[in-house]
Structure formats: structure tokens, C-alpha cells
Amino acid sequence: MRNSLLSPHHDRDGIVTLRRGSLEAQLHPALGARLGRLRRADGPHAPFDYIVPLEAHGFDLNRWQRAGCFPMLPFTNKFPRNTLAWTDANVCVGEPDGPAWLHGWGLRSAWSVERVSDHHCTLARAFAATRAWPWTWRAHLAVDLDTLDGITLTLVVVNESERPMPLGLGFHPYFPIHGAARATVQATAIWRPDAASDGLPARHEPLDSPIHLDLQRSALPGDTFSWFCETGAGAHAVIDYPEAGRRITLTSPQASQLVMHFRAGEAYLCLEPCTHLAGTLDPLRDAAMPHTPVEFAMRLQLE
């Protein structure tokens, strides 16, 4: 990190703070390039958190809090028995009988700051080839607060090996349930797990209307669920907070999937735009060619 660039924008804990108008965003480069806070404080109104705030003290990269928003790369979710079937070989990202290796390595790594200003920050991370992922690659994450009360997170990944690399990208935000939260997701179909799929997609159901979910903080569902939604031409979802008069509109033009995840009794909802169906990567569609940048973006319009 170049301290001469960072000094106006980061504190002694390495947290980078961006501001534009009444919006404030905090980034944690050392904690997996996480967006740890996204807050509006305008005039006489109480501050409003658009994502669950992250507590940095005592943070464990391997047992992360359900808070903030992190990038998922070079794959999202998990593979059956931690094994990806890829072209003519299997890639074992973890022990087949061990715990699921979720969401790749980006969220478990410290990133460096390349550029920062009042309302923009670019983070970077280089990854060497390993036994678990035998490709060399690098990633950049740009975060921008714009003049239209929005924030855009853009991942760019470059495969620095000389052969195609499997690649899945996504973002994993934790949206709070303030009082009531009403989510609407545009989807053409939904995949649901079954008893034998270990939480991965198994049953495919076409849809002819958007998915609506109404959550009340005072009466949260007692069941955990993950719904894998096919989005068609990009992801589009809205969360309304009627008691606070706030709204989040999520868009992601490169996302063919969006995962809706709720954990029993917890006051958050995850809407995770991503490029591939959990559990698999397609060599014809989900491959990063050598030295060719691949981009994936998510924008949150904040009202």
C-alpha cells in the first residue's frame, strides 16, 4: 500500500472510508476485500444501514461473520465433495470428505489498495497456482460511490496461466431485516436442493412471475433455505423497507444466477448475483482464457 495515497481515507486499522453526499462506505482490504459498512446519514433522519455492519475486531477469515459483502472467486458456493469436474480431469479444491470449501479464496485473503479517492477505491490480489487450483491469476475489485446514490462493485479477473481456467464470479451481500423487508427477484426459473443434494441445486422449477418474499424481524422463519434463481439477461432484485421508507435495487448485467439465502432465525437476507449455477462450471461458458480480462459487476441503487 502507498501510504501517501491512503492517509486521507484510511485509519490505523486499514479501513478505507469512501463518502459521497449522505452515503458512507467502509472497505476492509485485509479482511477479504469486504465492504463492511454501507450507511446513509441524511439530516434529521436516523442513520440507515443498507448492509449488515461488519465488526472488524477479532475477525476470523476462515469463520467469517454473516455481515458486510464479499467477492466470490474463482467460484461461488461449493462443489460436490469439494471436487470440480473440469474438461478431462477433476480439480479437488478441498478434501472430498472434509467441510465444504465455500466461495473460493478471495474472501479469505488480504488484498492491497491500488488507488483511492473520496468516492473510489481499487483493491488487488495476485494468486499463485496451488494444488487446489493449478492456475496463476490476479483479481482487481473497484468500488465506486456515484452521484445517483448508488454503489458499484466491479471485479476484473485475469488468468495468467497458458491454458483456460475455470472461473465463477459473484458478490455475497448480507442485507439486514429492519422491521420488515420485502424482497422481489426477477427470475425465469428456480432450483431447489433436495434431501440428497447436500444443499446444492437439484429440482428445477420454471417460473412465470417474479419471486416475492416478505420477512418480519419480529417473526422470522424457522427454516433455513437457499433458492438458486435463473435470472435470464442479468440479475434484478429489489428490497423494500416500508417502515424506514428505504429501498435497495440490485442489478448485475453479467449474472445468469442469483442465490436467495436465509438462515433460520437470523435478521439478514442474502441476494447473491453470480455467473454460474452452484456445484458446477461449464468449460464452454465458465472459462477464463489466458491473459484475457473477465469482468463482473453489481450495482446497488440506494433510496
User: Residue 84 sits in a domain of what CATH number?
Assistant: 2.70.98.10
Residues 184-218 pLDDT 10s: 999 999 999 998 999 999 999 999 999 999 999 99
Distance CA 279, CA 82 (A): 9
43 pLDDT higher than 80: no
Q: How far apart are CA 88 and CA 264, in angstroms?
A: 40
* 23, 42 Cβ separation under 8 angstroms: no
Angle at 122 between CA 119 and CA 127, to 5 degrees: 160
C-beta separation of 111 from 127 below 8 A: no
- Indicate the residue type of 4: S
d(CA 132, CA 293): 22
Total count of domains within the chain = 1
Instruction: State the cell numbers at 108.
Output: 479469505
Q: Is the pLDDT of residue 69 over 70?
A: yes
Q: Which one, of 149, 136, 131, 157, lies nearest residue 33 by Cα?
A: 157
The range of the structural domain enclosing residue 278 comes to 3-302
- pLDDT tens-digit map of 145-180: 999 899 999 999 999 999 999 999 999 999 999 999
